[in-house]
């Protein structure tokens, strides 16, 4: 009976051992399968993380490049603004000088016009005076010619001299 019991016990133990081994193998196979899937997922995650790192590095390099380009453009813009402001200031100075020159030229033209008017007034007064002297001379010549026909002795007299005394003219503009 003990042998039988022992045989049953050993058979039960062998079945349990076989069941445990089957369970263990199935469990290990599932775990190995899960581990393989997990390793593949980890590898895929690592590849993805590496790709993300590369993209991040590329974006950082691109961002630094764009930042440098932005700073360069800002400097160029500032230089252009400074140059433009300097040119505008120079042009304003030139405009101011030209306006001063124009004002001076206008004043000079007005002065020349006044001088011209004064000279024209003097000329007209001299023309009037010359015309008056001509009339006087023609009148005296006529008198002299009329009187010299009967008096030959008067012809030997020296011709009368006329003295010109200029008048001072004041101009009013």
Task: Write down the domain spans for the chain.
Answer: 1-100
pTM here is 0.43
pLDDT digits (tens, 9 = 90+) for 93-107: 999 999 999 999 999
First to last CA, the chain: 164
Higher-confidence residue of 124 and 157: namely 124
> What tokens were used for 149?
């026909």
- pLDDT band of 55, cuts 50, 70, 90: very high
Q: How confident is the model at residue 172 (pLDDT cuts 50, 70, 90)?
A: very low
The tokens 């581990």 sit on which residue?
A: 35
On the question of pLDDT at 153 being above 60, the answer is: no
**Can you tell me the distance from the alpha carbon of 106 to that of 32, in angstroms, rounded to the nearest whole number?**
107
Q: What percent of the chain has pLDDT over 70?
A: 85
Nearest to 164 by CA among 119, 126, 122: 126
Q: Is 127 in contact with 147 (CB distance < 8 Å)?
A: no
């Amino acid at each position: 009976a003990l042998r039988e019991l022992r045989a049953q016990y050993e058979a039960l133990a062998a079945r349990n051992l076989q069941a445990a081994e089957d369970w263990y193998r199935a469990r290990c196979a599932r775990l190995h399968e899960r581990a393989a899937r997990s390793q593949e997922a980890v590898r895929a995650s690592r590849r993805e993380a590496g790709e993300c790192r590369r993209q991040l590095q590329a974006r950082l390099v691109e961002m630094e490049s764009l930042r440098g380009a932005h700073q360069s453009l800002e400097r160029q813009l500032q230089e252009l603004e400074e140059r433009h402001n300097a040119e505008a200031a120079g042009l304003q100075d030139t405009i101011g000088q030209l306006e001063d020159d124009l004002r001076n030229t206008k004043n000079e033209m007005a002065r020349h016009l006044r001088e011209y008017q004064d000279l024209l007034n003097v000329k007209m007064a001299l023309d009037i005076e010359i015309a008056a002297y001509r009339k006087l001379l023609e009148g005296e010549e006529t008198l002299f010619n009329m009187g010299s026909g009967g008096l030959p002795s008067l012809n030997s007299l020296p011709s009368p001299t006329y003295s010109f005394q200029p008048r001072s003219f004041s101009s009013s503009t």
